[in-house]
């Protein structure tokens, strides 16, 4: 499932390849993916415009047109979406036996030069929407400040893992990134968030940001050091202790009971 690093790679692909290209047509005929818009509504809004910026907060992505004078196109990768620009693809989140098929193209923008920007999504849970609202999201997990992190994450009785996955607290952390960051920071996912010290919260922020940078560079959250060990009987890649497995914050969670306190 795409988390912040996958969406950032998709955003960067759009920024590198799709900006400055005039839009001559839009296929928005999948009215489920473009809800609440009617088929043709996004096409009418975007045709004749030019994409001028690609932005992201957490897992939300939005593209401005005509330097902000035109409508904004929101794209969400959902559970399995990828972004395709011409022949390049981004947003892939794990090695998969399935080659993403053009049959899964749910929304596409055609440029005047003949190229395309496509939302390719087997599960059809991604979205394309005009003028998306992002004001409910917390600050982006990749650049949240130390003070904001302490204040927003370090409160309440919810387990620490649930707290950092709450998109209104900080935006962009999903299940795998949460496990990786907590393991790097040597903090238990079950710790009540409000009981963490400032020093522990600072450590978590530093390690979360390091995990995000690494995942962006290496190709996605599946490249994390812990991720390959998240299997029954898996062992901590640092100390060899068998990992615990439980449901925390509604999600399957693995952690090292020796090091993560």
* Overall residue count recorded for the chain in this entry: 261
Cβ atoms of residues 253 and 179 within 8 Å: yes
Cβ nearer to Zn ion, comparing 134 with 244: 244
Cβ nearer to Zn ion, comparing 45 with 236: 236
Nearest to 200, CA basis, from 188, 209, 190: 188
Q: Which stretch binds Zn ion (CB under 5 A): 25-33, 111-119, 170-178, 248-256?
A: 248-256
Q: Which residues of 68-98 are buried (b: 16+ CB within 10 A; e: fewer)?
A: eebbbbbbbbbebbbbbbbeebbbbbeeeee
Window 63-92: residues binding Zn ion (CB under 5 A): none
Total residues interacting with Zn ion, rule: CB under 5 A: 6
Cβ nearer to Zn ion, comparing 27 with 200: 200
The conformation of residue 123, written as its DSSP 8-state character, comes to: T
Window 213-242: residues binding Zn ion (CB under 5 A): 236, 238-239, 241
Sequence-distant (6+) residues with CB within 8 A of 156 are 163, 192, 193, 194
Cβ atoms of residues 144 and 153 within 8 Å: no
Q: Give the Cα separation of 13 and 19 in Å (integer).
A: 10
Phi-psi region of 91 (alpha: psi -120 to 50; beta: other; left: phi over 0): left
Residue 259 binds Zn ion, judged by CB under 5 A = yes
- Residue 91 φ/ψ, nearest 5 degrees: 105, -5
Window 34-63: residues binding Zn ion (CB under 5 A): none
Q: In the set 162, 176, 216, 256, which binds Zn ion (CB under 5 A)? A: 256
Q: How far is the CB of 186 from Zn ion (least distance, A)?
A: 8
Residue corresponding to tokens 């409910």: 136
Closest residue to Zn ion, judged by C-beta, is 236
Cβ nearer to Zn ion, comparing 155 with 241: 241
Cβ nearer to Zn ion, comparing 202 with 259: 259
Q: Give the Cα separation of 45 and 158 in Å (integer).
A: 43
Nearest to 83, CA basis, from 64, 103, 105: 105
Cβ nearer to Zn ion, comparing 86 with 259: 259
- Binding track over 196-215 against Zn ion, x by CB under 5 A: --------------------
Q: Indicate the SS3 state at residue 171.
A: strand
Q: How far is the CB of 236 from Zn ion (least distance, A)?
A: 3
Q: Which stretch binds Zn ion (CB under 5 A): 102-110, 129-137, 184-192, 252-260?
A: 252-260
Q: How far is the CB of 244 from Zn ion (least distance, A)?
A: 10
Q: Which stretch binds Zn ion (CB under 5 A): 145-153, 162-170, 192-200, 253-261?
A: 253-261
Cβ nearer to Zn ion, comparing 41 with 259: 259
Residue 186 binds Zn ion, judged by CB under 5 A = no
Residues in contact with Zn ion by CB under 5 A are 236, 238-239, 241, 256, 259
């Amino acid at each position: 499932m795409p988390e912040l690093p996958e969406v950032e790679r998709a955003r960067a692909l759009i920024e590198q390849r799709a900006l400055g290209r005039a839009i001559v047509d839009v296929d928005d005929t999948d009215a489920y993916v473009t809800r609440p818009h009617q088929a043709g509504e996004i096409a009418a809004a975007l045709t004749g415009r030019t994409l001028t910026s690609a932005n992201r907060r957490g897992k939300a992505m939005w593209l401005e047109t005509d330097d902000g004078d035109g409508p904004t196109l929101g794209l969400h990768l959902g559970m399995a979406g990828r972004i395709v620009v011409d022949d390049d693809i981004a947003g892939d989140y794990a090695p998969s036996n399935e080659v993403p098929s053009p049959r899964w193209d749910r929304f596409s923008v055609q440029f005047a030069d003949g190229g395309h920007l496509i939302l390719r999504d087997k599960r059809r849970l991604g979205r394309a929407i005009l003028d998306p609202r992002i004001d409910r999201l917390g600050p982006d997990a990749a650049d949240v400040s130390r003070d904001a992190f302490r204040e927003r994450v370090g409160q309440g009785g919810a387990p620490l893992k649930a707290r950092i996955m709450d998109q209104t607290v900080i935006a962009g952390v999903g299940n795998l990134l949460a496990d990786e960051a907590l393991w790097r920071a040597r903090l238990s996912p079950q710790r009540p968030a409000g009981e963490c010290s400032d020093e522990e919260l600072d450590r978590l922020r530093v390690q979360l940001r390091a995990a995000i940078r690494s995942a962006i560079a290496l190709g996605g959250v599946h490249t994390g050091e812990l991720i390959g060990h998240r299997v029954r009987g898996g062992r901590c890649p640092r100390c060899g202790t068998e990992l615990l497995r439980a449901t925390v914050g509604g999600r399957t969670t693995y952690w090292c009971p020796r090091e993560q306190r």
